Amino acid sequence: MAIASRYSDLIEPADADQVFMLYHYGTDFEDGAVDPVRMTDGVRRWRDAEHFLETLDEACENEATAAELQRLWQRFRSVCGIGSDFREALPPPTVFRRTAKRIVAASCAGFVEGMTKNSVRVRERWLPYLNWLGRLRNHDTIISFNYDRVIELLRPEVRGDGGNVHEWAAHVAGIDGSISDLELASEAQSAGLPTLLKLHGSVDWVVAGDKVERREWNRSLLGAANEPAIATPGPLKMTMAEGFFQRLWKHAEIRLTGADQIYVLGFRFPESDAHPRERLLRAIHANQGGKLRVNVILGPDVLGKDSRRVLDLLEWSVTPSRLILDPKARAEFRVEDTGVGVDERVILAQALFVEDFLTLWANATDMPPARPAAV
């Protein structure tokens, strides 16, 4: 496993093997046999990686599920005839779950390993995102469910008053509302920075007793001594959202309820994520702004099942509203092309990939000049 080998000094290979092999065995080797000679017959126990993580979470609270996982592991070792290659038994459920979370965190950290704000600026595929963030200001809020640090790595150079160039960034909202968090938020607001809300945690956050601490990113955070503060699928996800991350969720709901523009960028309100679906749609439903625009960007197929489902969810939530479902629909900054009155509440389905939309949005939206900011 590439991730395990990259971080083999932090994640014990034998521990990673147990997570990796049990997952693939329980999908009946859907992605192909790890060893085509010895590993050909699996079982169908979980639908996908999210279901697997949810099962690990359940095993921490349910002895029957924990016992089932042990039986599956023993069956894997017996059927594949390679028992001596792996540890005899799975570790306690809480230990096994933590290892799986560390592997998830490593996967999210791995694809930006070695990247810096300077290297990002010269990579073509990052350009739409750099331009997008450089246009955001302190009245803008980014709501993210990603664990990675992609947005934190975006440090576009923007031109301010007098033509001076400044480094820009998103302010990552604090977790617990401490005095330090509030002071940083006030400074970011004064500097004109947008706010980033990471509702499911981050790879550089760790669980420390009964609280979550934000650390300076270092690959050592993936070590066994740390538990990543990320809300992976399962009962623990909702517990973390209602506990550790509750302040962030309330902030997100306030922003959605008072917004005049909402952009759904690549987010499909997953069927398995009942908690975020309920809370976010409830907040959008509470938005009574007469000029509300909800822009949905899920790719060119605006008539596909994923787009249709998201649009139906939003139509029920944004009432009354008018839906524009047209491959040639324009964003709000070209609303005159759609013939929609400015006093209407509108859901616009954009036939674009996220990168396409961000490029057009950044080029067509007028923003005030940036001011110097300590970021």
* φ, ψ for residue 140, nearest 5 deg: -105, 145
CB 149 within 8 A of CB 204: yes
Q: Is the pLDDT of residue 23 over 70?
A: yes
Q: Please state whether the predicted TM-score (pTM) of the whole model is above 0.85.
A: yes
Q: Where are the beta strands (DSSP E) in 106-237?
A: 141-144, 157-159, 165-167, 171-172, 195-198, 201-208, 211-214, 228-230
Taking Cα atoms as reference points, which of 2, 6, 66, 69 lies closest to residue 222?
6
Calculate the average pLDDT of the chain: 86
Q: What is the pLDDT of residues 163-179, one digit of tens each?
A: 788 899 999 999 988 88
Contact 228, 201 (CB under 8 A): yes
Has residue 84 got a pLDDT over 80? no
pLDDT in tens, 199-231: 999 999 999 988 999 999 999 999 999 999 999
Which pLDDT score, from 0 to 100, does residue 34 have?
Answer: 63
pLDDT at 342: 45
Tell me, what DSSP letter sits at residue 339? T
Q: What is the mean pLDDT of residues 243-256?
A: 96
What's the mean pLDDT in 140-164? 90
The residue among 219, 204, 126 whose CA lies nearest residue 172 is 204
What's the rounded mean pLDDT across residues 223-241? 90
For residue 335, pLDDT over 80 is answered with: no
Q: Mean of the pLDDT values across residues 328-336?
A: 41
Q: What is the pLDDT of residue 263?
A: 95
Tell me, rounded to whole angstroms, the distance of Cα 258 from its chain centroid.
Answer: 23
Identify the pLDDT of residue 332: 40
What per-residue confidence (pLDDT) applies to 355? 94
pLDDT confidence of residue 303: 84
**pLDDT number for residue 314:** 93
Q: In Å, how far are 23, 59, 60 from 55, measured between CA atoms?
A: 10, 6, 9
Residue range 271-287, pLDDT digits in tens: 888 889 999 999 999 99
